[in-house]
Amino acid sequence: MTYIDKPSISNVIKFDELNVAKVDQLKVMLNTGTDIYQGACKKRGSTLKDEYRKVAGVAYMDPKDMAKLGVGNWDSVLVKSDWGAVVVYSAHSRDAPHEGMIFIPKGPWANVIVSNETYCCSDPTYKGIEATVEKSDKEVLLMADLMKEVYQKYTKKVKEVD
Amino acid sequence: MGYEEPVTDYDKIVENCTCAFCGSNCDDLDCLVKDNHVVAVRHACRLGASKIMEDEDQRLKVPMMRNENGELVEVEWETALDAAAELIANSVRPLFYGWSETSIEAMKPGLELTELVGAVIDNQATICHGPTVQAVQNVGYPLMTLGEVKNRADMVVYTGSNPMNAHPRHLSRYTTFPKGWFRKRGRYDRTLVTWDPKYSDTAKLSDIWIPFEENGDYEFVNAIRAVLKGKKLKKDVIAGIPTEDIYELTEKMKNTQFGALFFGLGLTHTLSKQRNIDIAIQLVQDLNKYTKWVLLPMRGHFNVNGFNIFMSYEMGFPYGVDFCRGYPRYMIGETTTIDLLNRKEADVFLVIAADPGAHFPSGANMHLVDIPVIQIDIHWGPTTELADIVLPGTFIGVETAGTSYRMDSVPLNMKKAIDPPETCREDEWIVTELLNRVKKIKEASK
């Protein structure tokens, strides 16, 4: 096939880095945008599959930031901003170093935490959002489950019947 | 990824297909077809190939509607179209969003329908290059075609975009690598510059990488403009870049023969929005006092530019056009999709060839929970999870021929390579059917 299941990421995190102080919560700047793996998976249409979660439900972080939090590749992290909170995988960024910045490819996961404020310019603020990252033990949700949990469009009616 | 054997088992090759992915619209793809399926694509990038060799499992093949348990169930075309037409005809403030991944031919009945019901019509520019269009209205558009860049450019600047991820063949087909008439040695005759806070995949290929700080784009471009105008910079470091580097870069930009600036969503999605583009366009205008410079926005979808051109030609406004008063109105921040959803104004949402579930902030999408959503698309995506009526369309550029506009506003014909699934209908047919049905309902109620 012309694609791979998830981005190939080299594991370069050293947990015993000397100058890194461990923290529980990390203040970061969140950027979202496209990424070749996300684009290929989304437009092929494989959005219900585990593959989409692996390419869009992931926060690409600087290895030093990951060492500070004590997370490795494909561990769950909770990213919170003023607009919401979502559990995504953490992974080593191919564009490192960029300490204090995380990148989540656009998709249902990033949507939960980006700002819908357009400042009357039609365009929501998808980049440069203040957020915090912390370790999480929750599993990253698949697309359909995430949409159900976030929007609850058709689950509400079922609850009313009960 | 290991080595893959070339595909030799195919019935025919359909040559020179146009890719239906990004704004580069590469029109040299060869599709290898066997049993009415594309089994391989030649010349396409990873993105184009993945889209053309689609995921059959998630293809929408039959019209669907929600039953009383909230599950999507298969219905007849007649039922689904009637229900959708009923919703549109009885709505007060319908919003028709999408259009960027369909052909100009489908937009035509779409616009007629919009006028008939007094809806708002908008496309993906509203969440990507909308600020660019506003900036173009503010300060102008020093545009070129990509062929000029290929033949002439000796300096190519990418800012706020990462074409190696979003437009993978942009560098190799149009700007940096190809041999041009005046650039006989291709890549060796050109300087590739990236201005990006991140060491992106494009920056890794570049000769010069300017890592200005986050949200520092306006300040940085302003500094270059000051230097161009002969001013002396007073600070040592501007937007994270030492001033001597800014002087050096400005000198290089002045001394090129033909420069091209490409900018992407890194500029439009940060807080300064259209002001970033204003200043980038003004920089290009200033540079033209010394040498030839041009610029081009890196448009995302293959026909997002087409919608803007189509609407500007037909109605005088590029996107976010409101017909509720019977004549076209355009007011950024008022008649644009995200603002309409944020204010919870729309009461029916028709989405065609777009995926707001995947691309709108959830704060805006929350309104889609309260209103009926009609989806016309080819794959089961995040929006399908929010859709009440699903109408399966066909794949423009592979299953249906059509017209699209490349990012530099060159119209291209998109060929048909295979036949669509029997139960699917062309976008143009679906929109025309909706139009006819809404007309009937309106006439009956008179």
Q: How confident is the model at residue A18 (pLDDT cuts 50, 70, 90)?
A: low
pLDDT reading at A119 higher than 70: yes
Identify whether the C-beta of residue B347 lies closer than 8 Å to the C-beta of residue B92: yes
Do the chains contact at B51 and A96, CB–CB below 8 Å? Answer: no
- What is the model's pLDDT at position B213? 86
Local confidence band at B428 (pLDDT 50, 70, 90 cut-offs):
very high
- The pair of three-digit structure tokens given for residue B291, joined into one six-digit string: 């040498």
pLDDT 10s digits, B93-126? 999 999 999 999 999 999 999 999 999 999 999 9
Q: Tens digit of pLDDT for each residue in B301-360? A: 999 999 999 999 999 999 999 999 999 999 998 999 999 999 999 999 999 999 999 999
Q: Are B144 and B410 in contact (CB under 8 A)?
A: no
When pLDDT is cut at 50, 70 and 90, the band that residue B214 belongs to is: confident
Distance CA B434, CA B442 (A): 12
Which tens digit of pLDDT belongs to each residue from A126-142?
A: 988 999 999 999 999 99
Cβ atoms of B251 and B243 within 8 Å: the answer is no
- The domain defined by A25-161 carries CATH number 3.40.50.300: no
Per-residue pLDDT at A37 exceeds 70: yes
Q: Kindly indicate the confidence band of residue B54, based on its pLDDT and cuts at 50, 70 and 90.
A: confident
What confidence score (pLDDT) does residue A16 get?
A: 59
pLDDT at B1 over 70: no
Per-residue pLDDT tens for B283-302? 999 999 999 999 999 999 99
Chain A / chain B CB contacts < 8 angstroms: 202
- Chain A contact set for B380 (CB, 8 A): 45, 47-48
Could you tell me the pLDDT band of residue A55, with boundaries at 50, 70 and 90?
very high
* B57-128+302-445: CATH architecture: 3-Layer(aba) Sandwich (3.40)
Residue boundaries of the structural domains of chain B: 12-52, 57-128+302-445, 130-297
Q: Give the CA dihedral B132, B137, B143, B146, nearest 10 degrees.
A: 40
Distance CA(B208)–CA(B311), nearest Å, equals 39
Residues of B within 8 A of A52 (CB-CB) are: none
- pLDDT at position B3 is 74
Residues with Cβ within 8 Å of residue A19, at least 6 apart in sequence: none
Whole-angstrom Cα Rg for chain B = 23
Residue A148: left (phi > 0), alpha (psi -120 to 50), or beta? alpha
Query: Which residues have CB under 8 Å from B307's CB, separation 6+?
Result: B99, B100, B107, B123, B124, B125, B319
- As given in the structure block, the two tokens for residue B246 are 């800014």
Please tell me the total number of residues recorded for chain B in this structure. 446
How high is the pLDDT of residue B373? 96
Superfamily in which the B130-297 domain is placed by CATH: Dimethylsulfoxide Reductase, domain 2 (3.40.228.10)
- Written as six digits, the tokens of B322 are 């409101």
> In the predicted model, is pLDDT for residue A158 greater than 70?
no
Instruction: Give the separation between CA B10 and CA B240, rounded to whole angstroms.
Output: 55
| Whether A21 contacts B31, CB under 8 Å | no
Residues 1-20 of A with CB under 8 A from B: 1-4
State residue A162's pLDDT score: 46
Instruction: Tell me which residue of B402, B302, B41 sits closest to A39, measured CA to CA.
Output: B302
C-alpha–C-alpha distance, residues B51 and B398, integer Å: 10
Residue B230, min C-alpha distance to chain A (Å):
32
Nearest to B104 by CA among B422, B438, B401: B401
How close is the nearest chain B Cα to the Cα of A72, in Å? 21
Taking only residues 66 to 105 of chain A, the set having a beta carbon closer than 8 angstroms to any beta carbon of chain B reads: 83-84, 94-98, 101, 103
- The Cα–Cα gap between B231 and B216 comes to 20
